[in-house]
Structure 1
Amino acid sequence: MLSATAAYTFVVTPQYTSTARLFVSTPQNSDSNDVYQGGLFSAQRVTSYADFVTGRELATSVVKSLDLDLSPSELTAKVSAEVVPDTVNLNISVTDPSAARAQALTQAYAEGLVDLVRELETPPGTRDAPIKVTIVDSASLPTAPSYPKPVRNLALGLVLGVIAGLGLALLRELLDNTVKSPTDVAIATESPLLGTIAFDSGARSKPLISSLDSHAPRIEAFRVLRTNMQFVEVDQQNKVFVVTSAVPAEGKTSTSVNLALTMAQAGNRTLLLEADLRRPKATAMFGMDHAIGVTTVLLGRLTSGDAIQHDEVSGLDVLASGAVPPNPSELLQSNAMKELIAELRSVYDVVIVDAPPLLPVTDAALLAAQSDGALVVVRYGKTTKDQLAQAIKRLDQVDVRPVGVVMNMVPSKRLSGYGYGYGYGYGYSYAPETNE
């Protein structure tokens, strides 16, 4: 708003305004009653004379007297007349890009009005009019533009800009239906907020926490999540958790991978199961091949032991998705898949299942029904409350309760209100948008 006002102020052509003041009177005598009546007569007439100023006849007279290259209607647009309240004074003003021309036009109008009133008010057969108009102040020569006024315009633009900004911010907040706080999460589900991962632009180039320093803020974020996950299903020795989201691009794959890495770094026998058979991306983050994996095992071409790949850096085992099948949902709800999950559970302390989003397809709900629960990832400021509620409802339909929620890509300045650990300065990173 301020920049637009400044641009307009310094681009628009300056305008100058000249003003002349006239006095309307009647012949005076010693009779007080005549004086009073004359004053009333002048007051009644002055309004009519103001109307003459913006009329076509006077404009035509001024055009001829000054030999102007303007039409009467164009000239009328430049002039205004104002009766001073409770007086018989009349101010005539003309605005023009030229100060000298504004003065000349104003003076011509004042003199023209004097002549026009004398002509109209003089009765036939007489030489004197019962009322006259006198120029009290001749047309002034303006020394500064009357428009635009930079200081006033910039101040007004600043004020309006602040008001507009606050109004838009308030309107945006009122219309914003996205998840941005633990309260928003609590509206959709009774499950706890287990972790909050802050936005970090460096995560795009280094998505794996195994490539970071051991005390990096991103690692601390996933350690907090790992710690909170230890309190889920405490009676279960070998656990299987599905990591999913409501819609794509919320960071569920990166969350799955880094949570699994954190579990493995803590000494747990951990497997990352890439169960997104439609758009597999987890194994690519390790530089592994996903051509052999879940689908290969389900079709009986290899055993799970032969298909599992090992990450030497972290000690994490990874079972890739395998070739993309035409019927992912049928494979995921097959008996072979149930047997595979049961087999992996018997071997590993923790199995982290990277599943597709809940709302576009049913895959994640089918997998969650075979696990110990689902961890739902939401993206700060993008996932809507309705999407989260629908995702939780999708899990309810298969009798699965989400074990918790992870809020992803939270602006660092918003972290102070999310509790655990932030008083120690821990930062939280985000899962890249390209990872589903």
Structure 2
Amino acid sequence: MRLHFLVGMVCAASLTATATAQASLTIEITQVPDDARLIAVAPFTGEQVGENLGSIIRSNLNHADVFRAIGPYGSDGDAVTPPVVSSSEDWLSAAGLVVRGQVLRQPDGRLSFQYTLADRDGNALLSERLSAGTGRWRDVGHYISDRIYQRITGERGFFSTHLLYVNSYRRDGKLRYRLGISDMDGKRHVTALDSAEPINSPTWSPDGRQVAYVSFESGRPAIFTQNLATRQRTQLTQFPGLNSSPAWSPDGQRMAMALSKDGNPELYVMDLKTRALTRLTDHPAIDTEPRWSADGQSLVFTSDRSGKPQIYRLQLASGEVRRLTFDGRFNARPDLSPDGRTLAVVNENGDGQYRIATLDLRNGVFSRMTSTRLDASPSFAPNGRMLVYSTLRAGKGVLSIMSLDGRFRLTLPAIEGEIREPVWSPWLR
């Protein structure tokens, strides 16, 4: 079959590729579940254009909470050291699942990719042939990884998704800010915006074709949207005071935001066609950081109307507001899982330590997920199994990814500068 991608690398050719590799992210896996399934991924044979496809697939599967992927002993790209073996073939038989593949050059110059996923007895569980241009090498690796993940777990894979984040760095001694986008493994960083003024509150449109963010380029905060393919930027707001926390509605037609144009920070929603604003809250407290439910019928948001920041839910039809969080004296920066069952927040319990926590909205169970001291900006993967967030390591901002059960963790530090405010993309194809 011919492989088609909705966005590819969000039309990377239309974005500004970083001048050096300095903005890219590195990967450090720090915790793997003991019961992760062992899967052997052989190097792909045949035509070699870039990094071996087997290495890309192996690295991808090691970024999931259900696999421990191994390659030939001593091969490049193994994020988890394989068991010591006595011969070059024993590593294949040590695993319960095996991936093999080859790459062939077609007469039209395109590449043909063939791969098979088999069990220990050699029974094929998945076998496909696909074609793509030579520039889609990593896209093909992510696609195959998604297919393997779905075949084994029954859930859609997330390796073709992307991360959006703010990268602060220094140029000629002056602090600058990049709005960066990368594959979910931190590779292929591109810059959507580079500015001498702060950028914050980035977010994705539901189809992954646009982003929104707050820029201080005019000397005060303003909300912008940006088309990733055309680079066209549109300024939505520049009211006096606060212009913050843009959040696209699930249908892509509206934008929730926090504005203080009428004197107090309140929640508003803007019709993106008409630019008409509707005020949603009217309270002397600070209301901010809105996030939509998947059905578009409600918003969760942060408010200090109880005296300290806590998370509330606003039903749009009735205007009813209900408090959701009660554990700890501070809960902020909410994000809802795609199925609406889990709320992720930044929690402080009175000890000055800001950690990522989750609230099961079905049974009320509140769980603190991290043990580091300054964690922020949790964002769910589109399948709801993983969270990305920012934290500090050695005094520098880095990204971390963990499974929702807390048993799998990895870190993505920047080679240059610091990384903060990550947002996981929606499905991109």
TM-score (norm 1): 0.22
Higher relative contact order (CA 8 A, sep 6+): 1
Structure that is richer in helix per residue: 1
Structure that is richer in strand per residue: 2
